[in-house]
Amino acid sequence: MLKLSNYINGEKVPPLSGLYMDNFEPATGKVYSLIPDSDDQDVAGAVISAQKAFPSWSSLSNEERGEWLMKIADKIEEQMDLFAEAESKDNGKPVTLARQMDIPRAIANFRFFAQAITQFSSESHHMQGVGLNYTLRQPLGVVGCISPWNLPLYLLTWKIAPALAAGNTVIAKPSEVTPYTAFLLSEICTAIDFPAGVLNFVHGLGPKVGEAICVHREIKAISFTGGTATGRRIASVAAPMFKKLSLELGGKNPNIIFADCDYKTMLQTTVRSSFTNQGQICLCGSRIFVERPLYEKFKTDFVEKVLELKMGDPSDEKTKSGAIVSESHMNKILSYIKLAQDEGGHVLAGGERKHLSGRCEYGWFIQPTVIEGLPFNCRTNQEEIFGPVVTIMPFDTEEEVLAYANSTDYGLSATIWTQNLNRAHRLAEKLESGIVWINCWLVRDLRTPFGGVKNSGVGREGGMDALHFFTEAKNVCLRY
Ligand code: NAD
């Protein structure tokens, strides 16, 4: 059986404890590889190697570090199919999605920050007749990058790339649920002779490895993406140590549809924004608010399109809806569907676990589910489900829908569908959300600030925000 290893100081190494955990293929429900069950000793070793590597890595020119990132990107691209198949097997997502979205985006992350760092500049502030201030932006040292299972390589590289570009050395902890593509990335580092100790992967459980990263004194910053409860725990550990923290957390995103929208584009996009990656994207719109004159038509057409989504083996090129990432997550989603019914919701499509035949007989599949008849403030509409479940609700006025949209503790993203651009911009300004899409969804420019408000997070990733996070500003003042 495939046995993954840690990657520390440029070498593939087993966990010091010698312990391993099972890694499952969601589509079959079977174990297909073993992951290191690392602990604080492995993290401590990784930090020593990262500290040793820091002086030489941080003193390379920005262009030289950029060239290393370009080499990594090129190698991933050469192995596109291997990476896409690995991501699909590990996570349960359709292989076509991994090939079209996850892996290209991981490549783009490296290329984007390889170039961005060559354009990185800092400010100067003149004091007329008195003197001059200029800002140095220096790397922090060793930083920790902790990522979730839903977009495994995509989100891990979204952190690693800017951290490395800015001159830091990195301890990365991929999700224990989906460690495989991070392992393949460490193989690429070996293949291209990436400088030892600059990037280290320590695999294992959150409360062991993740927590050891957060409490380690020599790790200067934590960039985390994952659930809100985990983010709260990390903040409680790392904030008193005055570490820099970037927290990208959960969401419960509204999708607001007005009757004057471009109906065809809205409908197609709403199917995607509801169910891409089995609804396991933090940006999916899980609460769909439809202006009343359009509600019945939307309901009929939407349900029809949802029922057409082909659920199946993620390795099948025709599959549009794959498996749920783990058995426990599947059970959590099913418990929310039950809650929705207990709260008075009516299931219009899906609602159940699906048993496929053949290879995927014991896989973890849930039919794309649409529920109506729930009030905006019930638990189903307030708590993050993070699965293929959406609710649809009618509304009458702009004020009303704004109140519904802003009613949760979350504030990651929102989508607005209308041809009335005055209204769209007016709403965009008032939505409590870090990201607003008007007449589109998941259109991403990597230069823009990415992150949430309220319980969806603290800080922004992307573009210069990421480079600012991974550097410390120092003001130097000179008196004439
Ligand atoms: P999770 O919080 O369970 O795990 C995320 C990572 O944190 C994993 O690597 C895990 O091992 C680690 N971890 C767990 N406990 C830890 C601890 N005590 N200390 C340090 N690290 C710890 O999240 P998940 O289930 O992997 O991912 C799903 C969640 O991620 C959802 O809530 C989703 O909304 C969120 N998410 C947010 C964004 C965003 O950009 N805001 C993007 C993707 C996913």
Query: What pLDDT is stored for residue 417 in this prediction?
Result: 99
Query: What pLDDT is stored for residue 459 in this prediction?
Result: 97
What is the CB neighbour count within 10 angstroms for residue 311? 22
Rounded to the nearest angstrom, the distance between the alpha carbon of 146 and the centre of ligand 1 is 8
Burial of 396 (0-12, 13-18, 19+ CB in 10 A): exposed
Query: What pLDDT is stored for residue 34 in this prediction?
Result: 98
CA distance 452 to 196: 35
What would the mean pLDDT of 294-322 be, rounded to a whole number? 98
Q: Supply the residue whose CA is at minimum distance from atom 34 of ligand 1.
A: 250
Rounded to the nearest angstrom, the distance between the alpha carbon of 227 and the centre of ligand 1 is 4
Class for the domain spanning 253-445: alpha beta
Q: Assess contact for 27 and 314: CB atoms under 8 A.
A: yes
Query: What pLDDT is stored for residue 377 in this prediction?
Result: 98
pLDDT in tens, 199-249: 999 999 999 999 999 999 999 999 999 999 999 999 999 999 999 999 999
Rounded to the nearest angstrom, the distance between the alpha carbon of 381 and the centre of ligand 1 is 21
CA distance 71 to 93: 27
Two tokens, residue 304:
């029809």
Query: What pLDDT is stored for residue 360 in this prediction?
Result: 98
Residues of the chain within CATH 3.40.605.10 domain(s) are 2-249+456-479
Rounded to the nearest angstrom, the distance between the alpha carbon of 150 and the centre of ligand 1 is 9
Residues of the chain within CATH 3.40.309.10 domain(s) are 253-445
Atom of ligand 1 nearest to the CA of 457: 41
Q: Does 248 sit in the ligand 1 pocket, CB within 6 Å? A: yes
Q: Does 209 sit in the ligand 1 pocket, CB within 6 Å? A: no
Query: What pLDDT is stored for residue 437 in this prediction?
Result: 98
CA distance 49 to 32: 31
Q: Supply the residue whose CA is at minimum distance from atom 13 of ligand 1.
A: 206
What would the mean pLDDT of 20-44 be, rounded to a whole number? 98
What is the torsion angle, in degrees rounded to the nearest 10, for the CA atoms of residue 234, residue 237, residue 241 and residue 247?
10
pLDDT in tens, 323-354: 999 999 999 999 999 999 999 999 999 999 99
Residue appearing with tokens 């262009």: 63
Give buried/exposed letters for 34-71 (b at 16+ CB in 10 A, else e). Answer: bbbbbbbebbebbbbbbeebbeebbeeebeebbebbeb
pTM exceeds 0.85: yes
Rounded to the nearest angstrom, the distance between the alpha carbon of 121 and the centre of ligand 1 is 32
Q: Supply the residue whose CA is at minimum distance from atom 31 of ligand 1.
A: 227
CA distance 179 to 33: 10
Q: How many CA atoms lie within 13 A of 145 on its CB side?
A: 30
Q: Supply the residue whose CA is at minimum distance from atom 26 of ligand 1.
A: 148
Mean per-residue pLDDT over the chain, rounded? 98
What would the mean pLDDT of 405-417 be, rounded to a whole number? 98
Q: Supply the residue whose CA is at minimum distance from atom 23 of ligand 1.
A: 226
Q: Does 434 sit in the ligand 1 pocket, CB within 6 Å? A: no
Query: What pLDDT is stored for residue 121 in this prediction?
Result: 94
Q: Does 221 sit in the ligand 1 pocket, CB within 6 Å? A: no
What is the torsion angle, in degrees rounded to the nearest 10, for the CA atoms of residue 102, residue 105, residue 109 and residue 111?
130
Catalytically annotated residues: 248, 282
Q: Does 471 sit in the ligand 1 pocket, CB within 6 Å? A: no
Query: What pLDDT is stored for residue 170 in this prediction?
Result: 99
pLDDT exceeding 90 applies to what percent of the chain?
100
Q: Assess contact for 1 and 34: CB atoms under 8 A.
A: yes
Strand partners, 219: 142
pLDDT in tens, 161-200: 999 999 999 999 999 999 999 999 999 999 999 999 999 9
CB proximity list for 94: less than 8 A, separation 6 or greater: 88, 314, 316, 319, 320, 321, 322
For the packed helices 62-78 and 80-91, what is the interaxial angle rounded to 10 degrees? 80
Q: Supply the residue whose CA is at minimum distance from atom 11 of ligand 1.
A: 206
> How many degrees, rounded to 5, is the angle at CA 301 between CA 264 and CA 285?
75
Q: Does 461 sit in the ligand 1 pocket, CB within 6 Å? A: no
Q: Does 236 sit in the ligand 1 pocket, CB within 6 Å? A: no
Confidence tier at 413 by pLDDT (50, 70, 90):
very high
CB proximity list for 418: less than 8 A, separation 6 or greater: 258, 260, 261, 424, 438, 439
Q: Does 386 sit in the ligand 1 pocket, CB within 6 Å? A: yes
What would the mean pLDDT of 241-270 be, rounded to a whole number? 98
pLDDT in tens, 421-473: 999 999 999 999 999 999 999 999 999 999 999 999 999 999 999 999 999 99
- Mutate which of 147, 230, 385, 386 to test ligand 1's pocket (most atoms within 8 Å of Cβ)? 230
Rounded to the nearest angstrom, the distance between the alpha carbon of 358 and the centre of ligand 1 is 32
Q: Assess contact for 447 and 455: CB atoms under 8 A.
A: no
Strand partners, 145: 172, 223
Q: Does 173 sit in the ligand 1 pocket, CB within 6 Å? A: yes
- Mapping DSSP onto H, E and C, the string for 76-116 reads HHHCHHHHHHHHHHHHCCCHHHHHHHHHHHHHHHHHHHHHH
CA distances to 123, 334, 417, 452 from 404, in Å: 42, 24, 16, 18
Class for the domain spanning 2-249+456-479: alpha beta
Rounded to the nearest angstrom, the distance between the alpha carbon of 230 and the centre of ligand 1 is 6
Q: Does 225 sit in the ligand 1 pocket, CB within 6 Å? A: yes
pLDDT in tens, 50-73: 999 999 999 999 999 999 999 999
Q: Does 372 sit in the ligand 1 pocket, CB within 6 Å? A: no
- Mutate which of 102, 150, 277, 280 to test ligand 1's pocket (most atoms within 8 Å of Cβ)? 150
CB proximity list for 297: less than 8 A, separation 6 or greater: none
Query: What pLDDT is stored for residue 167 in this prediction?
Result: 98
Q: Supply the residue whose CA is at minimum distance from atom 36 of ligand 1.
A: 226
Q: Supply the residue whose CA is at minimum distance from atom 8 of ligand 1.
A: 175
Q: Does 206 sit in the ligand 1 pocket, CB within 6 Å? A: yes
Q: Assess contact for 340 and 371: CB atoms under 8 A.
A: yes
Q: Supply the residue whose CA is at minimum distance from atom 14 of ligand 1.
A: 206
At 361, which amino acid appears? Answer: E
What would the mean pLDDT of 97-126 be, rounded to a whole number? 97
